[in-house]
Amino acid sequence: MGANRLPPPGAPRPRVLLVDDEEMIRITIEQTLDLAGIEVESFGDAESALAALERGHPGVVVSDVRLPGRDGLRFLADVRRLDPELPVVLITGHGDIAMAVLAIREGAYDFIEKPFVNDAFVEVVRRALEKRALVMENRRLRTALDRGDAIAHHLVGQSAAMRRLREDVAALASTGADILVLGETGAGKEQVARALHEGGNRRDRPFVAVNCGAIPESMFESEMFGHEAGAFTGAGKRRIGKIEHASGGTLFLDEVESMPLAMQVKLLRVLQDRRIERLGSNTPVPVDLRIVAATKENLGTLAESGQFRKDLWFRLDVVKLALPPLRERREDIPQLFELFLVQAAVKYQRPVVDVPPSLRRALMLADWPGNVRELKNAAERHMLGFLAPDLAGRTGPGLNVLLDRVERLIIEDALRESGQRISAAALALDIPRKTLSDRMKRLGLTATD
């Protein structure tokens, strides 16, 4: 994300709040920032600036260290009490360096020594604005759930695929329909399930996530259906199972393809009757729940080979939501990486680190076989200073390779939209069919017609 990223519609524009008691210096800085396209609001003393400053200030503070009344250090302390994540850049004279170093220890973002080079000063301000924009975006995402915007909170990205997914989730969230989520490992299938739950009318009831591949087969029935006291050796008291606990809310079955065949029969009965029986009991217990199942496999293929029950597959395969892998929505990578950086900064109590252009380029070019989960881990490693050299130091391929990759992504997206029909894809791309066929042949792409 660059410092010139536009804020969301209706959000206040980022700006610099400038504090300096010397009018000529204020005018000079205002002109410097204005030429750089950065808005400025200036004050002659800390008291006036504080009166105008709010916790949600979208920009940053630039202040001289030596001010009448409150000096720069007291002003810094006041700003940090108001908003600890608001960057403060200090302007210092040569004799104030020791004070500036102390201010950095107290939480200042950076300091610039007079007389400063305009380009260097503007670069520091831009980096501070970028950091502030990340913080504000993370706050927006955190509060989205409180505002009921749970779908945007969980499904981040501006690619066409993610926009469509958010629309589909919004249409399905309050229907109560059981959903099958398809996607590779680490793509974020649980986030889709949580968006369905929290974006619908079951948001105030339990969301129960079960990894079907992580429960030993001998314990599966007890875990899912619960048991009565004395149902088996060691069952000293009644236990409510996952399905019953999810009643009123959502049951998320991750890696549903790993569910034992014997349990698939019982799950099918739950889907049909919405009743369960605890182990050791003959009394049916009604359950009101939505089931969201997720898989990385083709359940139809597994059903044909006898590894998954056909009748359960038919019952689950009513409404499908496909979550594309990260390599098919590369335009979402910078936003996701920056979001994960902010989350890591909060987690580890560290300032947000910069994302240099070389790293941003490497992130966009990486294959990400582990998808969003792998990208999040990379963001945490970058925050801690342990990003792998193949990302941190990558120079990347040449321009022709990059252009081929971009062209491939555009054509693949057009083919998916057209149902793998070349003629329809060529029409959508506004190029002759033969031109598209030739480019597909060069890129090693195939389609149905």
Q: So what's the pLDDT on residue 395?
A: 47
Among residues 124, 144, 164, the one where a domain terminates is 144
Polymer length in residues for the chain: 449
Each as own residue / partner, the long-range contacts of residues 222-226 (CB below 8 Å, 24 or more positions apart, any chain) are 222/279, 224/263, 224/266, 224/267, 225/266, 225/276, 225/277, 225/278, 225/279, 226/276, 226/278, 226/279
Number of domains comprising the chain: 4
- Strand partners of residue 239: 227
Q: So what's the pLDDT on residue 141?
A: 64
211: alpha, beta or left? (left if phi > 0; alpha if psi -120 to 50): beta
User: 423 phi and psi, to 5 degrees?
Assistant: -60, -45
Which of 366, 342, 365 shows the shortest CA–CA distance to 355?
342
Beta-carbon contacts of 298 under 8 Å, excluding residues fewer than 6 positions away, are: none
CATH code (residue 437): 1.10.10
297-344 pLDDT tens trace? 999 999 999 999 999 999 998 899 999 999 989 889 988 998 898 888
Among residues 372, 392, 412, the one where a domain terminates is 392
d(CA 246, CA 433): 52
On the question of pLDDT at 364 being above 50, the answer is: yes
Residue 85 within any structural domain of the chain: yes
How many of the other CB atoms lie within 10 Å of CB of 246? 24
Residue 290 sits in the same domain as residue 236 = yes
Tell me the C-alpha to C-alpha distance, in Å, between residue 180 and each of 47, 95, 290, 313, 321: 58, 66, 11, 10, 6
Threshold 0.75, pTM exceeds: no
Residue 318 within any structural domain of the chain: yes
On the question of pLDDT at 374 being above 50, the answer is: yes
Q: Residue 366 half-sphere exposure, CB side, CA atoms within 13 Å?
A: 26
Which two tokens mark 120?
A: 């260097």
What letter represents residue 231's amino acid? A
Residue 276 sits in the same domain as residue 166 = yes
d(CA 198, CA 153): 10
d(CA 260, CA 162): 32
Which two tokens mark 5?
A: 């990223």
d(CA 370, CA 350): 26
When pLDDT is cut at 50, 70 and 90, the band that residue 131 belongs to is: confident
Rg (CA), the chain: 28
Identify the weakest region by mean pLDDT among 72-76, 96-100, 150-154, 289-293.
96-100
Identify the weakest region by mean pLDDT among 3-12, 32-41, 168-177, 351-360.
3-12
| Percent of the chain scoring above 70 in pLDDT | 91
On the question of pLDDT at 63 being above 50, the answer is: yes
Among residues 81, 111, 144, the one where a domain terminates is 144
Residue 4 within any structural domain of the chain: no
Residue 178 within any structural domain of the chain: yes
Residue 21 sits in the same domain as residue 70 = yes
377-432 pLDDT tens trace? 999 999 888 876 656 544 455 567 667 777 887 888 888 888 888 888 888 888 98
Residue 300 sits in the same domain as residue 331 = no
Residue 110 sits in the same domain as residue 223 = no
Q: Is 78 exposed, middle or buried (0-12, 13-18, 19+ CB in 10 A)?
A: middle
Tell me the C-alpha to C-alpha distance, in Å, between residue 90 and each of 38, 86, 315: 17, 13, 64
CATH code (residue 158): 3.40.50.300
Residue 303 sits in the same domain as residue 187 = yes
Greatest CA separation for the chain = 87
Residue 181 sits in the same domain as residue 227 = yes
Q: Which contiguous run of DSSP H or E holds residue 276?
A: strand 275-276
Residue 177 sits in the same domain as residue 118 = no
Secondary structure of the chain: what % helix, strand, coil (to 5)? 50, 10, 35
Q: Which domain holds residue 237?
A: 150-322
How many of the other CB atoms lie within 10 Å of CB of 64? 23
Residue 422 sits in the same domain as residue 310 = no
When pLDDT is cut at 50, 70 and 90, the band that residue 1 belongs to is: very low
d(CA 295, CA 252): 11
Residue 217 sits in the same domain as residue 336 = no
Residue 5 within any structural domain of the chain: no
User: 17 phi and psi, to 5 degrees?
Assistant: -100, 110
On the question of pLDDT at 121 being above 60, the answer is: yes
d(CA 251, CA 249): 7
CATH code (residue 351): 1.10.8.60
CATH code (residue 36): 3.40.50.2300
Residue 202 sits in the same domain as residue 313 = yes
